[in-house]
Amino acid sequence: MEQMQNELPVVRTHKKDILIIDDMVDNLRVLSSILTRAGYNVRKALNWQMALTACKTVLPDLILLDIMMPEMDGYEVCQRFKAWELTAEIPVIFISALDDVFDKVKGFKTGGVDYITKPFELEEVLVRVQNQIKLRTTQLELLALNSELEQRVKQRTWDLEKALVKLQQEITISQSLQNKLLEMALHDALTGLPNRVLFIKRLEKALNRAKQEDNYHFAVMYLDCDRFKMINDSLGHLVGDELLIAIANRIQLCLTSSDTLARLGGDEFGIILDTLTDLNLAIQIAENILQKLSTTFKLSIYEVFMNVSIGISWGGKDYEKPEHLLRDTDTAMYHAKALGRARYHVFNPAMYQNAIHALEMENDLRKAIERQEFVIYYQPIVALSTGKISGFEALLRWQHPYRGLIYPTEFIPIAEETGLINPINTWVLQSACEQLSSWQNHPDIPKNLTISVNLSARLFYQTNFIAQFDQVLYHTKVDPTILEIEITESVIMDNTEEIKAILQELKQRKIKLIMDDFGTGYSSLSYLHIFPFDALKIDKSFVQLMHANKANMGLVPAMISIAESMGIAAIAEGVETKEQLAHLKDLNCDFAQGYLFSKPIEQKSIIDFLKSLPQW
């Protein structure tokens, strides 16, 4: 069919071609002349053979076919034309003489479209021929249109298919992009581990399972690297990153494929130990992790040590939310840190109470600053050479609206953790200086009475520390030579150069520096030497370990001689008994402070206290 369409000269605009097949030459002639005159191109054939040859040369637009022919009758010829692909569609009009036995039904069945009877009626012949030619032309036009349509549909289909393929490619690309984004949203870029979001999701899943299955238990771990900041600060972030990856890899070695190891933040990791029957198994894994991390990490340039503190919680259906479980595990981790780092700690509910307590304390502390709930108590310091009071230590207290007087050991750590220590300590300094300057012209107060103020290590990291200090000095007009600053060893532990510079600045202002709680920190003696201290305050724990027996005085004599050899004063803190005082005098300790002389006293009682001229 397709081939025929291709070969057919589809619509002819020139003269229509009619092939007349009749064994009677007369008939041929008559018909031919009628049609030629009507403007058709007419060809003639006497039999099937001739007709076939004529069609092979040019395909006619119409065939007029006689029925009665000697060798092969019109029906047969018609059937052959219809059977041949090229001619099958050419309309055939049968011609029959009136006396012929013409079977119209057979004619139509073999494929004829019309018939004309002899003798010919001129008009009738023309009308019938014209009709068929018109029909055929229309049919051919339709065919042409059809084929064009088909062509167009094909082209369209092809275009669409192409567009579809492109679309599918785009979908695949955007799908993979989406997957990548999802992957990024749920994973940590550095280590490739699940991040906090995914970790919480998995925790939630484990919790839900625990609620449905009685026998299902799991454990959670929170790991925080010990002093990781030091690596970042000293060796740089790239080394820090390299180390984190190495740590993650070592931890992974201690876990099974069903466990989840996630990076929860900077140097924090979380673990879900899935399907555990016993908490002891979690403890074993924690011990294994600590052991694996205890050997050096050989990084590309450096070799470093790094261990972690681990909090462990037992996950079960009692927890409502994954965040609560994580919070408790975090609390346990903090306990591990407080207990000395590089160890694990298992959560127990009391810790939660402590954490809540700390949170409440923090909230109250914020309000306390606004409401000015802080007060300073002053504890006298006695010069052992004269037995008279040489000065006071300013000690902070918090007058809590319903919990009463709170001691600094309870709230200073929280204030330091939250940064609230900065305004609080500045306030203490300001108040102590105001006190000093109000004493300067008081008749009952010796001129050189000192006040020592405890400053938290955090304060030294404030960029405007010295400027603030100068402002206080300027506004209170205090004589700086009678102001003393007490700092603990933790201040000089880190960042030596900067701290040294700040301490030098204080020295230039003639302020005295006291090393507080001497002996409880980690500083080495060589360290002590580089800083410009004026006195060492021996921690009360050492003073209280001095026994009645002279031969067993503990470390106090050594500490006093250290101060002596450095050419600075020794102050003993926490003196509670006469024996301790006697020993300290024997040892030539310069100053002492403790309940034996006086507990810290309220500001309003100081004048009376001094008027009584106490002496020991």
> For the CA atoms of 189, 193, 195, 198, what is the dihedral angle to 10 degrees?
130
366: helix, coil or strand? helix
Closer residue to Mg ion (CB): 130 or 490: 490
As measured in angstroms, the least distance from the Cβ of 184 to ligand C2E is 44
Cβ 392 to ligand C2E shortest distance, Å: 12
- The residue whose Cβ lies closest to ligand C2E is 594
Considering only 456, 476, 523, 580, the residue that binds ligand C2E (CB under 6 A) is 456
d(CA 250, CA 289): 8
Decide: is 489 part of the binding site for Mg ion (CB under 5 A): no
Residue 272's DSSP bridge partners are 220, 260
Distance of CA 18 to the CA centre of its chain: 85
Q: How far apart are CA 81 and CA 564, in angstroms?
A: 136
In angstroms, the CA 418 to CA 582 distance is 43
Find tokens 């925790």 and name the residue. Answer: 203
* Alpha-carbon 156 to chain mean position: 47
User: What is the DSSP pairing of strand 303-304 with strand 297-298?
Assistant: antiparallel
| Shortest separation between residue 407's beta carbon and ligand C2E, angstroms | 4
CB of 562 to ligand C2E, least distance (A): 18
Residues 557-576 that bind Mg ion (CB under 5 A): 573
Contacts of 616 (CB under 8 A, 6+ apart): 382, 387, 581, 596, 597
Whether the CB-CB separation of 19 and 32 falls below 8 Å is answered with: no
Residue 476 binds: one of ligand C2E, Mg ion, none (C-beta under 5 to 8 A by kind): none
Residue 55: which residues within 8 A CB-CB, separation 6 or more? 19, 81, 86, 87
Q: Is the Cβ of residue 288 or residue 541 nearer to ligand C2E in the bound state?
A: 541
595 binds, among ligand C2E, Mg ion, none (CB under 5 to 8 A by kind): ligand C2E
Binding residue for ligand C2E, selected from 272, 594, 606, 610, defined by CB under 6 A: 594
What is the pattern of x (binds Mg ion, CB under 5 A) and - over residues 454-473? x-------------------
The site map against ligand C2E for 391-410 (x = CB under 6 A) is ----xx----------xxx-
Alpha-carbon 126 to chain mean position: 90
C-alpha R_g of the chain: 55
- How many whole angstroms from its chain centre is CA 590? 59
Q: What binding mask, one character per residue, do residues 513-552 give for Mg ion by CB under 5 A, x or -?
A: ---xx-----------------------------------
Q: How many chain residues interact with Mg ion (CB under 5 A)?
A: 5
Is 517 a binding residue for ligand C2E by CB under 6 A? The answer is yes
Closest CA to 78 of 116, 21, 28: 21
Using rule CB under 6 A, residue 305 touches ligand C2E: no
Site residues (CB under 6 A) for ligand C2E, limited to 538-557: 540
**Candidate ranges 271-279, 311-319, 550-558, 591-599; the one touching ligand C2E (CB under 6 A):** 591-599
The site for ligand C2E (CB under 6 A) is made up of 379, 395-396, 407-409, 412, 425, 428, 454-456, 486, 516-517, 540, 573-576, 593-595, 600
The site for Mg ion (CB under 5 A) is made up of 454, 486, 516-517, 573
